[in-house]
Every structure is written in C-alpha cells, then in structure tokens.
Amino acid sequence: MALLRMDTLLKEARRNQVALGAFECWDSLNVQGIALAAARTGSPVIFQTTSMEYAPIGGPEIMADMVDFYVRKYSIDAALHLDHGANIKEVEECLRAGYTSVMLDASMKCFEENVSLTKDAADLAHGFNASLEAELGHVGGGDGGVGSESVLTEPKEAAEFVARTDVDCLAVAIGTVHGEYRGKPELRLDRLAEIAQTVKNPLVLHGGSGTPPELLQKAIALGIAKINICTDINKAFLNAIEETRKELSPSLAGNFYRPVVQKMSEKVESLIRLFRREGC
C-alpha cells in the first residue's frame, strides 16, 4: 500500500466521529511498532516527524523510505506528515522526499502573517498532491514551565483563516499542551464546538499525551480527527529500553529491538483504540 494524503484519511475519520493517532517517528523500531499496531487494529495511521526527528537519522528521504517500507510490509493505510515545519524550505524538502502531508507552523506570528505563510505553503503542498496542516492560536509547552505560552484559538477567526489559506487540516488550541501538563488538564470544549460549527475541515489536536481519555473522546465527538502523540510514546520506548537493559549480552546489543518494538506497538494500539472511541 502506497502512502496516502493525510486529509483523505482524516476527512473519513471526521465523518465517522473517530480520530486517527499521529505518532512521532524517530527510528526503525518505533516506526515498526506503530505499523504493527495499525495492522493489528486494521486502522489507518499517521506517521509524523519534525526536522529534529529526521535529522539524526540522515534526513527526510531516509525517514520516507523507512516508513514506506513498513507501510507496504504490513499493508496498512497511512500518511507521512511533517510536524511543525519551521519554514517553507523544510516543507519543500519533505515534499520532495515523498511526504504526503506537511505542516507549516506560523502559529507564533500575527494573524495576517500566518494567513500569508500558510497560503504559500498550501499552494506548494497541493502542487505535490499533498495536504497542508496549519495552526491557529498556539499550543504551548507544559514541561514544568518550559516552552511557549498557549494562546487559545478564536472561533470567529477560524473560518476566515481556512477560507483565505486553502489549508486542509486545522490545528486548534483548546487547552492541551505539548509535553507534560503543569496542572490538571482542562479543555475548552465549548470553543471547540463553536469552531467545529463553521470549519468542516478535519480539526487537529496537538499535545495529546497526558490528556484524560474521557476529554479526548469528547473532543473527537465534537470534530477532532487527528491527535498528535509524542511524549507518551517516547516514555514507552525509554521504559522498554530500561527494562531490557539488564538482560543484554555485551555481544548482542540488538537484543533489545524486539521487546522495544513490542512495547511500542502495545502503547500505540491502546491509543488507536481510544481514538476510535471503543467502549463509548
């Protein structure tokens, strides 16, 4: 199965009132774990990377080849997405490498500048038959006080933003944070409902890790079609390495691969099932 456009998968998800997990990728073990979980659940999945994740393994071409390999091996429906593209150069680099979706993140800029940068990126992505995600408002960092401050999305601006930019998927700021929460997570579901009334494109929730399952499922019922997960799967990966470390033979360091892939796939599988609102 070849990689698909992300918006095609997400439109279907929104129609069905479910969300797809968008999982950060950094190496072949975690990519394999994600692919396995998608195959086991029979669910489409989004593989995504920032430049900080593809740079250490040698660039977006290697990431695209690796993801494509596992997508074909497990015959799954999937997209490969650039998360938090910093500028148009990064966006173009990933499109040329074969990514089927990109994000241009101008959420820290003023509204007009965000509109203009997003419109340019949308035109570029569509020329490659790929979809574009952008963010309005800003999802800040939790991480015990480190990172940028959140700015909630203004529902009135959301419809205008989508109409003027041709963006395919819109990331909204409704109270989640990237990384660990500082206090009790609280989502502005009222705001999300208002946005969802006027924006019919798939809506994206960044900062999925650590968000209570019942809040995520309410957000999905209101229109969230993609949930980004980074911290939770990084933790699962590191814990699995930690657990297997003691049993490693000095001449077979690769022996930790299988248990790490296994733990990664278990974690991703449980999130995929949650986002499908199983048990609701």
Return the residues of window 228-247 that contact ligand 13P according to CB under 6 A: 228-232
- For position 98 contacting ligand 13P by CB under 6 A, the verdict is no
For ligand 13P (CB under 6 A), the number of binding residues is: 13
As a whole number of Å, the CA-based R_g of the chain is 18
Two structure tokens written together for 15: 């129609």
Distance CA 31, CA 264 (A): 9
Which residue is catalytic, options 7, 83, 168, 232? Answer: 83
Element (H, E) at 22: strand 20-24
Question: Under the phi-then-psi rule, with left for phi > 0, alpha for psi from -120 to 50, and beta for the rest, what region is 30?
Answer: alpha
Least separation, in Å, of the C-beta of 111 and ligand 13P?
21
Least separation, in Å, of the C-beta of 246 and ligand 13P?
28
Element (H, E) at 23: strand 20-24
Return the residues of window 4-63 that contact ligand 13P according to CB under 6 A: none
Distance CA 264, CA 150 (A): 29
- For position 191 contacting ligand 13P by CB under 6 A, the verdict is no
- Residue 231: closest CA among 176, 154, 165, 164: 176
Return the residues of window 64-93 that contact ligand 13P according to CB under 6 A: 83-84
* Contacts of 181 by beta carbon, 8 Å cutoff, 6+ apart: 142, 210, 211
- For position 102 contacting ligand 13P by CB under 6 A, the verdict is no
Q: What would the DSSP string read from start to end of 197-259?
A: HH--SPEEE---TT--HHHHHHHHHHTEEEEEE-HHHHHHHHHHHHHHHTT--TT-GGGGHHH
Least separation, in Å, of the C-beta of 205 and ligand 13P?
8
- For position 101 contacting ligand 13P by CB under 6 A, the verdict is no
Q: Which of 179, 217, 222, 236 binds ligand 13P (CB under 6 A)?
A: 179
Looking at 55-173, list the stretches that DSSP marks H as alpha helix, in order from N- to C-terminal side.
Answer: 60-73, 88-97, 111-127, 155-165
- For position 178 contacting ligand 13P by CB under 6 A, the verdict is yes
208 versus 223: smaller Cβ distance to ligand 13P: 208
Least separation, in Å, of the C-beta of 4 and ligand 13P?
20
**Residue 83 among the catalytic residues:** yes
Going residue by residue from 192 to 231, which x/- string records binding to ligand 13P, judged by CB under 6 A? --------------xxxx------------------xxxx
By CB under 6 A, name the binding residues for ligand 13P: 83-84, 178-179, 206-209, 228-232
As annotated, the active-site residues are 83
